[in-house]
Amino acid sequence: MFQNAPGGTFTMTGDVTVARMGYGAMQLAGPRVWGPPADRDEALAVLRTAVDELGVNHIDTADFYGPHVTNQLIHDALSSRYEQLTVVTKVGAVRDSEGGWPHARSPEQLRDQVHENLRTLGVAALDVVNLRVGGGPDGHSAVPGSLAEPFGALAQLQKEGLIRHLGVSVVDAEQVAEAQSIAPIVTVQNWYNVAHRGDEALIAMLAAQGVSYVPFWPLGGFTPLQSGTLDRVAATMGASPQAVALAWLLHRSPNILLIPGTSSVAHLRENIDAASISLTRDVLAQLDEMA
């Protein structure tokens, strides 16, 4: 299936090679990532189109999306294709009755979350589990501190055969190193895009180690990217600003994997098409003005 992998491929570990352009399932849930999708048939079509037509084999999810909604959709749409997919989930938070995202990182809570992911995805072992660590004033930035206890709990679940590979999310370089001292990691998932470049050094360090880096909010998340430079560059190329922003990430470093999300098949195709956009040195230099 790798002949048509969008964006080329990256080997996360010996038995896991993925297309660099993947798919993030968060937007398949209802408003504020709560409840079922407005159009369930379209949500299922997005997942099947991504895998069956567009060459995506890396799906990002979490059982707290919905909660349970995106995992169940992935199961219903793609369980017969699991052997050809890498489904990455995350733990470290739950949803409260008001739709909040409280931390849940005790060993007991993490064990419960892993078992919920196993149940809703319908698998015996999870491909990759990211421990979501940070938060900070903006809710999405790394907060210094030890992750030894929660990451150690996931490493124990890996030893028990419930998790194949581990990753970390919303972390700094010191936390990455601490995690690696406990068990190997295959991916780091942090906030990064063409306008938010705080992880430049971390990306370079991970690239040297052969570890993948997955930027969440590659298009700005709940606050879409707004830049005159990006708009101008996109206009000269005859492309959308969103497509250029995704293409920039693929050009930025070979260990960057993308998981742009959408609830629309048409928008999904537009996102995947960004993998075919070539950026010249001049264009890259102009986009560097945004840093």
Choosing from 23, 65, 192, 213, the catalytic residue is 65
65 noted as active-site residue = yes
Cα(232)–Cα(286) distance, rounded to whole angstroms?
A: 10
- The one-letter code for the residue type at 141 is S
Which candidate, 94, 96, 101, places its Cα nearest to that of 116?
Answer: 94
What backbone torsions phi and psi does residue 99 show, to the nearest 5 degrees? 85, 10
Continuous segment of H or E residues that includes residue 196: none
**94 Cβ contact list (under 8 Å, min separation 6):** 64, 67, 101, 102, 104, 109, 113
On the 0-12 / 13-18 / 19+ scale of CB atoms within 10 A, 284 is: middle
**Encoding tokens for residue 7?**
């964006």
Q: Is the dihedral of CA 141, 142, 144, 150 positive or negative?
A: positive
User: Catalytic positions, please?
Assistant: 65
